Amino acid sequence: MAARAYWQGQIRLALVSIPVEIYAATRSGAKIAFRQIHEPSGKPISYEKVADGVGPVDKDDIISGYEVSKGNFVLLEDREIDAVKIESKKTLELVQFVGADEIDPLYFEKPYYVAPADDLAEEAFVVLREALRKAGKIGLGQLSIRGSEKLVALKPCGKGLLLETLRYADEVRKGQSFFTEVSGEKPCADLLDLAATLIEQRSAPFDPAAFHDRYADALRKLIDRKAKSNSKKAILEDTEEPAARSGSNVIDLMAALKKSVGETGSAPAKKPPAKKPARKRA
């Protein structure tokens, strides 16, 4: 079954318009999802709309509300919300270009593949792709879809283009407020060298296929076993709990790093630190 386009329209660069199709680059169905089940009957649980102090309510009596303070809501009808929705346009205009490394990874949200809509669009599509690649730039624009407006970044991706939705500035927390208690002092040079050696020994090209979600794999095996046995209950295998960590200090950290480095190679020899001159007595 052919993939369904998430969006169809055109990318506009000044007076040049390129018909394109955008496809989701990730699969939401890859994750395992559970439903709540009434065990005696085996029937799935459904949820009822209930208001505090009122009980079940009719769906026609439900409107949207925004909580402005504890227990106080501004009520909005669907027609009022629809009136301020951004008109869905079929054009993504590239209004700015930035360096490929200028955008903090915190702002990237979700990736999409972009392909030319037809053979006639391919030439202009390839020109845009190669121009971005040569300049080392990312194109920025805002995409109107389903009533909202998304900030997006466009960059080369193999033979195609990759579009990534970005978070707006007010959606990202400033990280430094979480690090106020962290010391700004530099660590011991010997510890730093050992850690750098360990990092170098374990450095390799990124291969996403080398990593697996072990929890999801175990869940699938459990589900398969239960499906084959047709049993409602399962006896889970005991697993060993990791040993509790003891309090750490510089000596423990040095020993742990040396042991870690020794598993894959030897650390570079270090000169013993120079002895401090003895203090003169008064």
Residue 99, in any domain of the structure: yes
pLDDT of 282: 34
Is 98 found in the same domain as 157? yes
133 domain residue, yes or no = yes
Residue 196 in any domain: the answer is yes
| 192 and 164 in a common domain | no
- Residue 176 included in any domain: no
Give Cα separations from 133 to 23, 105, 224, 242 (angstroms): 21, 19, 46, 47
Are 129 and 192 part of one and the same domain? no
Alpha-carbon span 177 to 256, nearest angstrom: 31
Closest CA relative to residue 261, chosen from 203, 189, 199, 204: 199
Percent of the chain with pLDDT over 90: 31
Same domain for 197 and 120:
no
Q: Which strand (E) or helix (H) includes residue 148?
A: strand 148-157
What is the pLDDT at residue 261?
80
Query: What is the amino acid identity at position 21?
Result: E
Residue 87 amino acid letter: E
Going by C-alpha positions, the residue among 163, 11, 143, 140 that lies closest to residue 86 is 143
List of the chain residues with pLDDT < 70 = 1-2, 29-30, 86-88, 231-251, 264-282
Give the residues across from 140 on adjacent strands: 96, 153
Co-location of 107 and 163 in the same domain = yes
For residue 97, give the nearest of 132, 67, 56 by alpha carbon: 132
Residue 124: which CATH number? 2.40.290.10
Q: Which domain holds residue 18?
A: 7-26+85-169
My answer on whether 127 and 256 are in the same domain is: no
Count of domains forming the chain: 2
Residue 113 in domain: yes
* 110 and 143 part of one domain: yes
Q: What is the pLDDT of residues 220-257, one digit of tens each?
A: 888 888 888 876 554 555 455 555 555 555 568 778 87
Give the C-alpha separation, 218 to 110, whole Å: 27
